[in-house]
Structure 1
Amino acid sequence: MHLDHSHPGPAAVGADAARPDGTRRALRIGLGGPVGSGKTATVAALCRTLRDQLSLAVVTNDIYTREDAAFLLRNAVLPPERIQAVETGACPHTAIRDDISANLEAVEDLEDAVGPLDLILVESGGDNLTATFSKGLVDAQIFIIDVAGGDDIPRKGGPGVTTSDLLVINKTDLAPYVGSDLGRMARDAAQQRGELPVLFTSLTSGEGVGPVADWVRGQLVSWAA
């Protein structure tokens, strides 16, 4: 299930699109959302889907641990040298929006170590509906919520819901068990976001992360152009 809104391509780039040697750097896509919404599982699924077609890497953010990076490593979604962990030591927004230096260094280190890369996924630590990425860090933003958080979440809005380049409403398979109305969520999301796209996903279903991977491929086409 998805809302078929058009979208012009990657968000306006705040950082230089070229590396110091003049080559084009990787497209950077940030993934944010509340704790438990399925950010790390989505990153893992994207890596499995795209790793045979693209050269990609991942930067994860946790406040005091490297738990998300450890999850990706345990599941062998990418070689270890393609996964970097950032311990923010503070509110997750700080490292993705206010002081991006640690994440920016991790991104650039990955390109130096295993580049050239097509795509770098930057996963935020679990945050609230106000989480956004600095345009100096990422070129496009995915915000992930899940049906178990309540079907009123899209209506509540917040920058993550209303302004992200893609809103993903995850865990649709749980809707019958938690009393969430997917139709209501779709209508509320459309009202909040206008023409910005919304995708409904269940990583346990046959289609899984496929629609999100297709959106990422579209961003890459625009980036290359």
Structure 2
Amino acid sequence: MHLGHAHAHHGAVSADAHRPDGTRRALRVGLGGPVGSGKTATVAALCRTLRDTLSLAVVTNDIYTREDAEFLLREAVLPPERIRAVETGACPHTAIRDDISANLEAVEELEDAVGPLDLILVESGGDNLTATFSKGLVDAQVFVIDVAGGDDIPRKGGPGVTTADLLVVNKTDLAPYVGSDLERMARDAKEQRGELPVLFTSLRSAEGVGPVADWVRTRLAAWTA
């Protein structure tokens, strides 16, 4: 089920598109969202879908552990040298929005070690609806929510829901079991986001990540144009 148009809004790309040596740097896409919404599952699915055609890497953020990175390593979605973990030691906002130095260092180290790269996915630690990425860290942001969290989440808004370049509503397969009204969620998301795209999907299905991957490809095409 896909409500909205994934390619309706391409957004602007950063003017800082090159590394110090003059080569084009990778497109950086941030993924945020509440705990349990499916951020790591989205990252894993994107890696599996894009790794054969793109050179990509991942930076994960956890407060005190490397759990998300370890999950990606266990799933073998990318070679180990393409996955870096940042332990924020504080609120996830700090490392993705306020003091982005640790994430920037991880991104730059990946490009030095395994580059040139087309794409780097930066996953935030689990947070609430206010999580947003610094524009100095990422070029585009995906915000992931899920229907099990309640169909009032789009209506509640918050910067993650209202301003992310793409809103992904995950776990649509659970809607009948948790009493979530997908049409209502779509209307509320449209009211909050205007023309910004919204995708309804279930990452449990093999094809669930397809529209998200297509959106990433479109952003990458704009980045490299």
The verdict on a shared fold, with TM-score over 0.5 as the criterion, is yes
Alignment correspondent of 2:57:
57
Alignment correspondent of 1:106:
106
Distance 1:37 1:31 in 2: 11
Where 1:2 maps in the other structure, the secondary structure is coil
Alignment correspondent of 1:4:
5
Distance 1:5 1:191 in 2: 16
Contact 2:9 2:195 in 1 (8 A): no
Superposition pairs of residues 199-214 of structure 1, within 5 angstroms: 199-214=199-214
Alignment correspondent of 2:119:
119
Contact 1:10 1:223 in 2 (8 A): no
Offset of residue 208 of structure 1: 1.1
Report the more deviating stretch, 79-88 or 201-210.
Answer: 201-210
What do the CA deviations read for 1:62-104 (whole angstroms, capped 9, x no partner)? 0000000000000000000000000000000000000000000
2:119 is equivalent to residue 131 of structure 1: no
2:151 is equivalent to residue 147 of structure 1: no
Offset of residue 12 of structure 1: 4.4
Offset of residue 128 of structure 1: 0.5
Distance 1:204 1:43 in 2: 13
Between the two proteins, the alignment pairs up a number of residues equal to 224
Superposition pairs of residues 1-225 of structure 1, within 5 angstroms: 1-4=2-5, 6-13=7-14, 16-225=16-225
Distance 1:10 1:25 in 2: 18
- TM-score of the pair, normalised by structure 1: 0.97
Distance 1:24 1:165 in 2: 22
Offset of residue 170 of structure 1: 0.3
Contact 2:6 2:199 in 1 (8 A): no
Structure 2, unmatched stretches of 5+, are none
Where 1:59 maps in the other structure, the secondary structure is strand
Structure 1, unmatched stretches of 5+, are none
Amino acid at match of 1:4: H
Offset of residue 2 of structure 1: 2.2
- TM-score of the pair, normalised by structure 2: 0.97
Amino acid at match of 1:89: G
What do the CA deviations read for 1:2-58 (whole angstroms, capped 9, x no partner)? 212654424442x72110110110000000000000000000000000000000000
Identity of aligned residues (%): 85
Amino acid at match of 1:16: D
**Alpha carbons of structure 1 residues 25 and 5: separation in structure 2 relative to 1, 3 Å:** closer
Offset of residue 162 of structure 1: 0.2
